[in-house]
């Protein structure tokens, strides 16, 4: 069973956001039967505050990313590792009483703001939200930003989450010949991903007054089906699949 708990401090500067947050929580409860509770941290004991901090830390890092505030990004814990409800409300998503995600958080180069994530949970449901969030898309943005040559030798990084006119491109690269590479990252690539990357590439060419031949389209995914592969061929989209290769064998 999924549950949401909102932790906040009374009379904090962000209280003007509470109305919209409450509307989203109510909508999620009505549509997906996900209950929520609101906890005012000013009334909690030190041990109760410590439990909240432990719940946040218990969430796998590959899901919750960075949780300590830095570089003007307000996150659940302050720079001194205290609960940061003075500066931000904190939302924890629980499954069978176990914490599985927290908002806001910073994963890779992307800041996951609370209201946006609540809107996604309302739209798709908590199960779908968790099946695609943070497991591949955002960590791969950081990996490609740091080492774009894993896709192709000589590839250079340009940007992430770039507005290309017809939407937001996950990653933009530049290949050795100078062509722009629009990369769509998907955990499970479908024909919709093919349409998405094609639309983003078209947006980039239109926005920058380029011919189609100067832009490449890539989907990087963990899983895909035969229909997706055929759609990629028909749309001139390059399909990359993440795989694991064993380098060293155990002596046991």
Question: Do residues 24 and 105 both lie within one domain?
Answer: yes
Question: Do residues 68 and 106 both lie within one domain?
Answer: yes
Question: Do residues 9 and 108 both lie within one domain?
Answer: yes
Q: Convert the pLDDT of each residue in 198-246 to its tens digit.
A: 989 999 999 999 999 999 999 998 889 899 999 999 999 999 998 877 8
Q: Can you give the three-state secondary structure of the chain, one letter per residue?
A: CEEEEEEECCCCHHHHHHHHHHHHHHHHHHHHCCEEEEEEHHHCCHHHHHHHHHHHHHCCHHHHCECECECCECCCECCCCCECCCCCCEEEEEECCEEEEEECEEECCEEECHHHHHHHHHHHCHHHHHHHCCCCHHHHHHHHHHCHHHCCCCCEEEEEEEECCCCEEEEEEECCCCCEEEEEEEEEECHHHHHHHHHHHHHHHHHCCCCHHHEEEEEEEEEECHHHHHHHHHHCCEEEECCCCCCCCCCC
Question: Do residues 233 and 112 both lie within one domain?
Answer: no
Domain that holds residue 206: 138-241
- Examine residue 246 and state whether it is found in any structural domain, yes or no: no
Instruction: State the total domains in the chain.
Output: 2
Question: Do residues 39 and 98 both lie within one domain?
Answer: yes
pTM of model > 0.85: no
pLDDT higher for 52 or 143? 52
Question: Do residues 127 and 161 both lie within one domain?
Answer: no
Residue ending a domain, choose from 81, 110, 131: 131
Residue ending a domain, choose from 91, 111, 131: 131
User: Quick one: pLDDT at residue 135?
Assistant: 53
Question: Do residues 39 and 90 both lie within one domain?
Answer: yes
Q: What is the CATH number for 114? A: 3.40.30
């Amino acid at each position: 069973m999924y549950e949401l708990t909102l932790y906040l401090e009374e009379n904090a500067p962000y209280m003007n956001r509470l109305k919209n947050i409450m509307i989203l929580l109510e909508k999620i409860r009505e549509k997906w039967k996900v209950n929520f509770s609101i906890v005012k941290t000013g009334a909690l004991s030190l041990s109760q505050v410590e439990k909240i901090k432990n719940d946040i830390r218990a969430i796998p890092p590959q899901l919750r990313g960075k949780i300590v505030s830095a570089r003007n990004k307000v996150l659940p814990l302050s720079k001194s590792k205290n609960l940061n409800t003075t500066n931000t409300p904190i939302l924890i998503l629980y499954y069978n009483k176990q914490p599985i995600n927290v908002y806001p958080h910073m994963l890779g180069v992307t800041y996951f703001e609370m209201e946006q994530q609540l809107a996604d949970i309302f739209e798709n449901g908590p199960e779908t939200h968790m099946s695609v969030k943070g497991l591949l898309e955002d960590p791969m943005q950081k990996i490609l930003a740091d080492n774009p040559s894993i896709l192709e030798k000589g590839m250079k990084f340009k940007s992430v989450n770039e507005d290309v006119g017809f939407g937001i491109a996950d990653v933009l690269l530049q290949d050795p010949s100078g062509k722009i590479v629009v990369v769509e990252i998907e955990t499970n690539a479908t024909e919709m991903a093919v349409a998405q990357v094609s639309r983003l590439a078209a947006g980039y060419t239109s926005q920058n007054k380029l011919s189609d031949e100067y832009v490449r389209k890539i989907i990087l995914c963990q899983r895909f089906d035969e229909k997706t592969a055929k759609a990629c061929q028909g749309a001139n989209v390059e399909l990359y699949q993440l795989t694991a290769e064993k380098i060293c064998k155990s002596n046991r």
